[in-house]
Structure formats: C-alpha cells, structure tokens
Amino acid sequence: MALLSIVLPAYNEEQNIANTSAVLSRLLEDNEIDYELIFISDGSGDGTFSEIRKASQANPRIRGAEFSRNFGKEAGIFAGLELSNGDAVIVMDCDLQHPPDVIPLMWKKWKDGAEVVEGIKSSRGRESLGYKLSAGLFYRIMSRLIKMDMNASSDFKLLDRKVVNVLLQLPERNTFFRALSFWAGFRTETVQYEVQERQFGESKWSFWSLMRYAITNATSFSTLPLQIVTVMGIISILFSVALAVQTLVKYLMGTAVEGFTTVILLILIIGGFLMLSLGIIGHYIARIYEEVKGRPKYIIRQVTDNVQGNVEGAWRKRN
C-alpha cells in the first residue's frame, strides 16, 4: 500500500500539535490512507517539541524533530522532506489554515498520475489590513520577478517521491519551496482551497519578515535586479550625452560659466544610481557568499524516539 507523508513545520505551535495530529489521523484513517505525520519544531521557545513527543508516543505514525534554533519555515519543510518515507509527501501548515479536507482529493489526483498537486488559494481568508497590504505587495513583487503567479500559490502541495528527491538533491542553501515545485516541472495538477482561520495562536510573520522573505526569494529566483543596474547605467549615459551637447553649445556660444546647479544635480543623480547599483550587486555577492560557505540548512537538536538513524546534517548526505 502506498504511504502518504505529511510534513508540518511548526514554530511555537504547542497549542496546535495535539489538535492537528488528531484531526489529520482521524481524516486519514477514515479515508483508509496509510500515512505518517512529520512535525518539525523550528527552534520553538515553547513546549512544541514536548507536544510532538507526546503525540508520537501515543501514535507511532507521528514522528518529529527539533532544530537547535529558528531556521525558518523553508528549512523546516526541507528537514521534513528529508525525514519522510512516503511515496507521496504533502507539505502543510500545522495551524490547519490549509484545510485537511483537501488531502483526500490531492491523494486521488496523485493516484491518477499527477506528480505535483498544487494547492491554489481561492480566497486568502480573513487577514488584517496591514497583513493584506504587506502580503499583497510581497506577492506582486514576487510574481513580477519570477514570472509565476505567486498570489494564489502556497506551500500547501503534494509532491511525488521523484519530485521530493529532486528537491532534496538541490545543493542550494536558500530555497524557495513554493516556486521550486514549478521550477522542477513534472505533471502538475491543482486543487482549489479556501484558507481557513488559524486554529490557535497567531501568525508568525511580521511586515519586515515578509519583506526580507520577498527580497531573499526574489534574488534567489531572479537576476532581474542586476539588469536594473544596466538600465540605470543606460539612463545616465543618455542623460549625460544630452548635457554634453548642451554644455558644448554653451561653450561655443561663449556662455559657459553658468551651470553650477547642473553640476550639483549630476553629482547627486549619478551618486544615487551608483550607490543603488552597488547595493544590488552587494546583495547578490552576499547571497553567493552564503551559498559558498555551504553551511547546513538546519541543525537538528533532537528527534522523537521513533526516528531511525542519525539525521543530523542529513541534508549533506545527498551531495
């Protein structure tokens, strides 16, 4: 019988673990799907991992690991993929905002031959205005830069084992899970879902963390910002040709002493362009530096007793 793994990254979600595992195991047992649940506690400061341990003692199909510190949701997803054994793997949030009722449908599409089943949001659920604005800006920037519609896509998706192995073999440290499944290709189907209200606790994203996420992901998926540097260079060249002509004409007409304003403006404009360009290039160099160091995506502090073998630095094994 085919095995379904569900990967659930959890950061300070002690209130959600017991409820989420109960809801998911009931649903999967009712649908007669052979399953395992993998919770990754992302360096939580609360009792998330002891809740995971408790759940795994009650139900051996539940396993989990805890990071040594907060490494971010991406790292959590990848650690979960690494620990999973399923023929198909579903990644979802552990606050049940991704409705579990969609799982049987994803499973059915997989059985019918789909290799990736994307969860597509039909609405974003109820969110505060500030969150809507920042998330909206975030997705607009992202969609532009990586030429994929990021607004409706989410981290809620099913991946076939083949696809999981492809993702686990990627050497890069800064990943963007949501877009990587598009990038990988494969036979893709979609499933619509309504974003639910969060069960317990509150959202872990602030405006700044979303912006940071946007910039990191944009630069890891696109080199367009570097090309903007070229565009700015061309604009300044056109500008300077026009001014050169003007200056020459004035010189020839014998009225060349004026133009102090022009000089100041030129210094300001060119200086601004230069510094902006250096900033963009610097950002890419920083990203290259991070990748070159080749540090692990995450560090595992402890695992539940039913996890086999040594998982520390497991991501390196495949490189």
Cα 133 from Cα 128, distance rounded (Å): 9
Q: Dig out the tokens for 48 from the structure.
A: 């998330």
Q: Where are the beta strands (DSSP E) in 136-284?
A: 153-160, 188-194
**118 is a site residue for Mg ion (CB under 5 A):** no
Contacts of 14 (CB under 8 A, 6+ apart): 44, 46, 47, 48, 50, 51
Q: What binding mask, one character per residue, do residues 184-223 give for Mg ion by CB under 5 A, x or -?
A: --------------x-------------------------
Q: Where are the beta strands (DSSP E) in 161-232?
A: 188-194
**255 is a site residue for ligand UDP (CB under 6 A):** no
Cα 55 from Cα 308, distance rounded (Å): 17
**205 is a site residue for ligand UDP (CB under 6 A):** yes
Nearer to Mg ion, 52 or 163 (CB): 52
**84 is a site residue for ligand UDP (CB under 6 A):** no
Q: What are phi and psi of 97, to 5 degrees?
A: -75, -25
**160 is a site residue for Mg ion (CB under 5 A):** no
**134 is a site residue for Mg ion (CB under 5 A):** no
Of 85-93, 152-160, 218-226, 244-252, the segment contacting Mg ion by CB under 5 A is 85-93
Q: How far is the CB of 202 from ligand UDP (least distance, A)?
A: 7
**82 is a site residue for ligand UDP (CB under 6 A):** no
Binding residue (CB under 6 A) for ligand UDP from 6, 7, 13, 315: 13
**93 is a site residue for ligand UDP (CB under 6 A):** yes
**76 is a site residue for ligand UDP (CB under 6 A):** yes
Q: Binds 118, which of ligand UDP, Mg ion, none (CB < 5 to 8 A, cut-off by type)?
A: none
Sheet holding 116-123, edge to edge: 188-194, 116-123, 153-160, 88-91, 3-10, 34-41, 62-67, 300-303
Q: What is the 3-state secondary structure (H, E, C) of 119-137?
A: EEEEECCCCCHHHHHHHHH
Of 71-79, 88-96, 219-227, 295-303, the segment contacting Mg ion by CB under 5 A is 88-96
Residues forming the site for ligand UDP (CB under 6 A) = 9-11, 13, 42, 70, 72-73, 76, 93-95, 97, 198, 203-205
